[in-house]
Amino acid sequence: GRGYWSGCAISLTFLPADANCGIVFRRIDLPGKPTIRAQVANRRDTQLRTTLVEAAVHVEMVEHVLAAIYALEIDNCIIECDAPEMPGMDGSSLAFAIALEGAGIRRQWDSCEEYSIAFPIRLGDDNQWVMAIPSVDPGLTIRYELDYGAKSSVPTCESTLEITRENFSQQIAPARTFLEEHEAKQLQSKGVASHVTYRDLLVFGPEGPIDNSLRFDDECSRHKLLDVIGDLSLCGIRLQGKIIAHRSGHRLNGLLAKELWEVSKKQRLDSNLNSITNMRKAA
């Protein structure tokens, strides 16, 4: 596909990886084919997208790819790309989910790291926030509340979905990215996404989507929920609990991913310390 920002033709190849490899991007367009690990430590704030940087090499617009990988329960994968930007496709994760499911997923007999959210974590302010809370239900459930106010042409909506492979493929992956008409014109006036038409993603005018139609009544909040999945995948662990997001974007999502990673790391260290202490007592 083509990159929304660059307009360049881009190819991705998903390759099997050894256990404990994690998710790794490989830039085959650069000398030495450098790699960038999909880890929260490599995340950088970038306008309207998630960017990863390692050793001065970067990949961007990774959130839709990472959402598909996480939701399809893939823990180890090498993603070869011949450009820094991921292909925009139709603005959703659907093409990536179809490709991955079509290739098949191989079970590896190594355990993956999991973290059950133990206490509430809230980041943001009254206008925009994201929160992780414990839950007695298994797995991960995400609720996204979208409300840009009465002056916005983007409809107010909210979505709550458990993140399972089936739910993702059918209810989340098809949800496309969106913006308002004045935002689209502003970007194109700067030479960005000049090749993108209103058929390529959802652009909202006063009467709703322009030259397009919604796949779901709450497609916009479903897409923001999709972004949350992709951004939180940078924790590198399986999460159990509930996430509630109110108008959050990539920056807040990324900050929550960092917080969850640090809390889970501390829990693992404490658990290892307790195990060592118990062993010493037994000895």
User: Order of strands, edge to edge, in the sheet holding 49-54?
Assistant: 43-46, 49-54, 57-60
Where does residue 114 rank: exposed (0-12), middle (13-18), buried (19+ CB within 10 A)?
exposed
The answer to whether residue 250 is catalytic is yes
Find, among 129, 132, 131, 128, the residue nearest to 149 by Cα.
128
Within 10 A of 162 (CB to CB), how many other CB atoms are there?
15
For the chain, the distance separating the N- and C-terminal CA atoms, rounded to the nearest angstrom, is: 61
Q: What angle do CA 82, 59, 146 make, to 5 degrees?
A: 125
Which of 58, 223, 246, 250 is catalytic? The answer is 250
Within 10 A of 274 (CB to CB), how many other CB atoms are there?
10
Q: What values do phi and psi take at 31, rounded to 5? A: -60, 135
Enzyme catalytic residues: 250
